[in-house]
Amino acid sequence: MRILKFGGTSVGTVESIEQVVKIIGSKKENNQVLGVVFSAMGGVTNKLIEIGALASKGDVEYLNILKTIEERHISAVKSLIAVKNQSATTAKIKGLFNEIEDLLKGITYIKEISNRTMDLLLSFGERLSTQIVTSTLNDRGIKASFIDGRDIIKTDSTFGFAEVDFNKTNSAINDTLNNADLIYCVTGFIGSDQNQVTTTLGRGGSDYTASILGGALNAEVIEIWTDVNGMMTADPRKVKNAFTIPEISYAEAMELSHFGAKVIYPPSLIPAFQKNIPIRILNTFDITDKGTTVSKETIQKSYSITGISSIDDISLVNLQGNGMIGVAGVSAKLFTILADHKISVILISQASSEHSICFAVDPKSSEIVKEILEDGFKLEIQNGEIEQISVQHNLSIIAVVGEGMKASSGTSGKLFSVLGKNGINVIATAQGSSELNISVVIGKKDISKALNAIHETFFQIDGLTLNLFILGPTGLIGKTLLNQIEKQKEHLKKQKNLNLKITGIANTRKMILNPDGVSLQNWEENLIQNGELVNLSEFIDDIQALNLPNSIFIDCTANKDIVQYYAPLLNSNISIVTPNKVANSSSFAEYETLRNITTKRNVKFLYETNVGAGLPVINTLQGLINSGDTIIKIEAVLSGTLSFIFNTFDVGQKFVDVVKDAKAQGYTEPDPREDLSGMDVARKILILARETGINLEIQDVTINPLLSDEAMQAANVEEFYKVLEKENPLFEALIENAQKNGEKLRFIAKLENGKASIGLDKVDKNHPFYSLSGSENIVSYTTERYFHNPLVVKGPGAGAEVTAMGVFADIISLSSFLA
């Protein structure tokens, strides 16, 4: 035989009751008793509590509310039951409402409502709903019999949380539910004491009724029908990728529900569990779903944890002082005080130094907890053995639960690592020695970020999602990067289970932020038409406020003002990837600050494209240094623009046209004077110098200028071009001269003996830099290990595709760090 239980939403509307009737009809097998337990129609119990309170204050508003409840039930009868069968049921329902009205009138007279009276008032919810479903079943030709729970569930007289007398209850159940031809419809939640006074069973009461019935009748299975697809790996309102846990052990279900997963209340299922009856949690509104099966066996699972649950709002109470060390009985006293005041403790943590105990409670009880402890430990506080009791608010608990933890190491390592990488501070932690649960207390503002990051780490069904925020998406590099991402997205999803989500984009005027991802189709139009007007600091504030896991800020501008935001972003554990050289070439103090933050916070700042665009210039240098090599000399051509210009410019040509061409090819900085002045190269050699550990400032780089003062001081790019045109003979002479000697012009950067210099040079065909073509860069590292033959990196060192590729590669490398 089996027991079914339908919750409040399942009997909440005419449509849902139709669905319930369908399910019950399909479950009835021949010669098997079928017991079905019902909750009150959704929302009715709360309304009854409300009207009870109103009546006890003498507020007649309760009459109006009662009327709407009555109308809801009567109209359900009218819709569900054929007219010829309606009157008997309607009469029963009306009778029940008359009783409620009398009861409430009594309450208004005595102006108080005891737990005992409240139990009677609440009992009507289940009695009404069960009556309606029973009549509906009979109306549809399914023989059903109404059972008032008070006739079979026998309890003591603890109103509100009555204790069941199993001897009496079990025999009453077996005496009553004994006709295999019938479906027994039983009111959940309610019972009666030895004087037949109505009682209720407390939290999860209807589940409890089903469990008691199942246990008494040795059911094969208990089905808890609700409005979700079973227990999920996390709260689906907070974690979009949460999924149903197909099988779970009773102990796991207990842990999850203790920390907030509300689908069932497992303690109420103990009678079923004592008899090893599996419990299935199913969805009335999605009958094809398999839901969750709770059973005693530990099931081999695909993941190291089973689920994550959380309590959004808790307070942490801290009791500490030197007087606690080595003194037996402090914690005994503490928990006795709490128990005496019926304070329920959600989590306890004590450091082995025994200097402090902290515990989590519902914020509503935190004030009273402080008071009773200050009172209870008055003497110890006066003597200075215990400090003032402190209470921290606005905290949340996350519990990672699973039997799988016992068998595998590394669960807590993984948990703390993912929290750390996302900059989530763990305030307290507790792990039961059963190894079934690790709980962490964190700031409330981080709850959603933490749940998502943890879920992603432990249940990598949907892979890792990176939240990308791109500044300057309409610029050359930004746009190219977006194109590359768009083209590669599917592949990364398939091959690496990596989701690249463009969560925010902003240019100088507008931004779009969307936690679900900005579509890469028509994003430009969308930005223009629907983007919000912003300034830089608002964009940064919004990114921080979103507080999403695995956030990466990608600065594709050459902007100088943005640099001030790098530190705050890194401090919020948002990684930065950028081709923008400004931060790394600003003051050494700033450079160092950023490094210190990345070390302290374990957050990444990646900038391979600062030097040589996509060429592995910085990674190579870091590899040499990190592996203990010593850099003796760096010689390099670091400007794609200048390389292109001197590879292209010829006698008879206009130098300015070649410069314009370099810009058109996407090699130059937004302002090409940055390249021609040598400033761009100076920045790059400065960055390389700093990478090798040399403390230099930009003014320490010796620049042998290529441009005349007049060209350098031109008011704008157009003026600059005019000066270049005027000075064409100078450039022509330079190239002519070189060609005459079979030489090439190269703008070379050098770092040696702690000194950096840059300037135009001529090289003959024996020089390794002679053979560059197009926009090629070359970097030659002479080190202790690469002494006779330097290590050389060479290739195109500017241009949209190769730069965007370098930025893209940095993003991908972050994915293995964050995973």
Ligand X SMILES: N[C@@H](CCO)C(=O)O
For ligand X, the binding residues (CB under 6 A) are 613, 639-641, 667-669, 675, 680, 797-798
Task: Please tell me the distance from the alpha carbon of residue 122 to that of residue 206, in angstroms, as a whole number.
Answer: 13
Name the nearest CA neighbour of 685 among 810, 585, 770.
Answer: 585
Q: Which is nearer to Na ion, 135 or 610 (CB)?
A: 610
Whether residue 570 contacts residue 604, with contact meaning beta carbons closer than 8 Å, is answered with no
The interface partner of residue 670, options being ligand NAD, ligand X, Na ion, none and the CB cut-off 5 to 8 Å by kind, is: ligand NAD
Task: Please tell me the distance from the alpha carbon of residue 230 to that of residue 243, in angstroms, as a whole number.
Answer: 9
Q: What angle do CA 292, 152, 29 make, to 5 degrees?
A: 50
Whether residue 533 contacts residue 510, with contact meaning beta carbons closer than 8 Å, is answered with yes
CB of 613 to ligand NAD, least distance (A): 4
Task: Please tell me the distance from the alpha carbon of residue 198 to that of residue 158, in angstroms, as a whole number.
Answer: 10
Q: Which is nearer to Na ion, 331 or 619 (CB)?
A: 619
Q: Which is nearer to ligand X, 131 or 803 (CB)?
A: 803
CB of 480 to ligand NAD, least distance (A): 8
Name the nearest CA neighbour of 550 among 448, 460, 465, 442.
Answer: 465
CB of 613 to ligand X, least distance (A): 5
Would you state the structure tokens that stand for residue 812, as one six-digit string? Answer: 């991908």
The interface partner of residue 641, options being ligand NAD, Na ion, ligand X, none and the CB cut-off 5 to 8 Å by kind, is: ligand X
Task: Please tell me the distance from the alpha carbon of residue 146 to that of residue 453, in angstroms, as a whole number.
Answer: 49
Q: Which is nearer to Na ion, 162 or 617 (CB)?
A: 617
From 24-32, 276-284, 386-394, 500-508, give the range in contact with ligand NAD by CB under 6 A: 500-508
From 491-499, 626-634, 661-669, 730-738, give the range in contact with ligand NAD by CB under 6 A: 661-669
Please tell me what DSSP assigns to residue 762: E
Q: Which is nearer to ligand X, 136 or 639 (CB)?
A: 639
Count of positions on this chain that bind ligand NAD (CB under 6 A):
29
Name the nearest CA neighbour of 473 among 503, 496, 446.
Answer: 503
Task: Please tell me the distance from the alpha carbon of residue 687 to that of residue 595, in angstroms, as a whole number.
Answer: 13
The interface partner of residue 615, options being ligand NAD, Na ion, ligand X, none and the CB cut-off 5 to 8 Å by kind, is: Na ion
CB of 533 to ligand NAD, least distance (A): 12
From 400-408, 432-440, 541-549, 550-558, give the range in contact with ligand NAD by CB under 6 A: 550-558
Candidates 291, 307, 376, 475; binder of ligand NAD (CB under 6 A) is 475
Residues 616-635 that bind ligand NAD (CB under 6 A): none
The interface partner of residue 580, options being Na ion, ligand NAD, ligand X, none and the CB cut-off 5 to 8 Å by kind, is: ligand NAD
Q: Is 684 a catalytic residue?
A: yes
Please tell me what DSSP assigns to residue 343: P
Candidates 472, 549, 672, 795; binder of ligand NAD (CB under 6 A) is 472
Collapsed DSSP state (helix, strand, coil) of residue 791: strand
From 136-144, 185-193, 664-672, 784-792, give the range in contact with ligand NAD by CB under 6 A: 664-672
Chain residue at closest Cβ approach to ligand NAD:
475
Candidates 492, 613, 701, 703; binder of ligand NAD (CB under 6 A) is 613
Binding mask 583-612 toward ligand NAD (x if CB under 6 A, else -) reads --------------------------x---
CB of 656 to ligand X, least distance (A): 17
Name the nearest CA neighbour of 48 among 56, 95, 207.
Answer: 56
CB of 794 to ligand NAD, least distance (A): 16
83-110 helix and 44-56 helix, angle to the nearest 10 degrees: 40
Q: Which is nearer to ligand NAD, 383 or 508 (CB)?
A: 508
For the sheet with 551-555, list strands across it. 532-533, 510-513, 498-506, 464-471, 551-555, 575-577, 605-606
Q: Which is nearer to ligand NAD, 113 or 558 (CB)?
A: 558
Query: Is residue 557 at the binding interface for ligand NAD, with CB under 6 A as the rule?
Result: yes
Name the nearest CA neighbour of 38 among 175, 130, 136, 158.
Answer: 130
Query: Is residue 205 at the binding interface for ligand NAD, with CB under 6 A as the rule?
Result: no
Whether residue 597 contacts residue 603, with contact meaning beta carbons closer than 8 Å, is answered with yes
CB of 679 to Na ion, least distance (A): 18
Write the CB contacts of 81 (distance below 8 Å, at least 6 apart in sequence).
Answer: 89, 135, 136, 139
Task: Please tell me the distance from the alpha carbon of residue 221 to that of residue 718, in angstroms, as a whole number.
Answer: 83
Q: Which of 510, 684, 744, 794 is catalytic?
A: 684
CB of 492 to Na ion, least distance (A): 21
Residues 114-173 that bind ligand NAD (CB under 6 A): none
CB of 797 to ligand X, least distance (A): 5
Q: Residue-wise over 274-313: b if at least 16 C-beta within 10 A, else e? A: eeebbbbbbbbbeeeeebbbbbeebeebeebbbbbbbbee
Looking up tokens 């290990």 gives 785
DSSP-H helix ranges across 235-321: 250-258, 270-274
Q: Which is nearer to ligand NAD, 278 or 614 (CB)?
A: 614
How many other CB atoms sit within 10 Å of the CB of residue 68? 9
Q: Which is nearer to ligand X, 306 or 668 (CB)?
A: 668
Handedness of CA 341, 342, 343, 346 (dihedral sign): positive
Candidates 558, 735, 779, 811; binder of ligand NAD (CB under 6 A) is 558
CB of 748 to ligand X, least distance (A): 14
Q: Which is nearer to ligand X, 267 or 774 (CB)?
A: 774
For the sheet with 791-796, list strands across it. 702-704, 755-763, 744-752, 631-637, 776-783, 791-796
Query: Is residue 749 at the binding interface for ligand NAD, with CB under 6 A as the rule?
Result: no
Candidates 119, 126, 635, 669; binder of ligand NAD (CB under 6 A) is 669
The interface partner of residue 558, options being Na ion, ligand X, ligand NAD, none and the CB cut-off 5 to 8 Å by kind, is: ligand NAD
Q: Which is nearer to ligand NAD, 505 or 735 (CB)?
A: 505
Task: Please tell me the distance from the alpha carbon of residue 442 to that of residue 397, in angstroms, as a whole number.
Answer: 6
Task: Please tell me the distance from the alpha carbon of residue 659 to that of residue 643, in angstroms, as a whole number.
Answer: 11
The interface partner of residue 536, options being ligand X, Na ion, ligand NAD, none and the CB cut-off 5 to 8 Å by kind, is: ligand NAD
Task: Please tell me the distance from the alpha carbon of residue 93 to that of residue 86, in angstroms, as a whole number.
Answer: 11
166-176 helix and 205-217 helix, angle to the nearest 10 degrees: 70
How many other CB atoms sit within 10 Å of the CB of residue 588? 16
Would you state the structure tokens that stand for residue 609, as one six-digit string? Answer: 């494209």
Looking up tokens 């999803």 gives 493
Query: Is residue 508 at the binding interface for ligand NAD, with CB under 6 A as the rule?
Result: yes
Query: Is residue 471 at the binding interface for ligand NAD, with CB under 6 A as the rule?
Result: yes
CB of 578 to ligand NAD, least distance (A): 7
Longest distance between any two alpha carbons in the chain, whole Å: 119
Q: Which is nearer to ligand X, 90 or 665 (CB)?
A: 665
Would you state the structure tokens that stand for residue 222, as one six-digit string? Answer: 């208990």
* Beta strand 605-606 pairing with 791-796: unpaired
CB of 470 to Na ion, least distance (A): 19
Query: Is residue 208 at the binding interface for ligand NAD, with CB under 6 A as the rule?
Result: no
Query: Is residue 504 at the binding interface for ligand NAD, with CB under 6 A as the rule?
Result: no
CB of 678 to ligand X, least distance (A): 11
Task: Please tell me the distance from the alpha carbon of residue 192 to that of residue 118, in angstroms, as a whole number.
Answer: 13
Residues that bind Na ion (CB under 5 A): 608, 612, 615, 617
Candidates 559, 564, 622, 782; binder of ligand NAD (CB under 6 A) is 559
Task: Please tell me the distance from the alpha carbon of residue 688 to that of residue 780, in angstroms, as a whole number.
Answer: 12
Q: Which is nearer to ligand X, 204 or 806 (CB)?
A: 806
Residues 764-803 that bind ligand NAD (CB under 6 A): 798-799, 803
The binding site for ligand NAD (CB under 6 A) comprises 471-472, 474-478, 506-508, 536, 556-559, 562, 579-581, 609, 613, 640, 666-667, 669-670, 798-799, 803
Which of the residues are catalytic?
A: 684
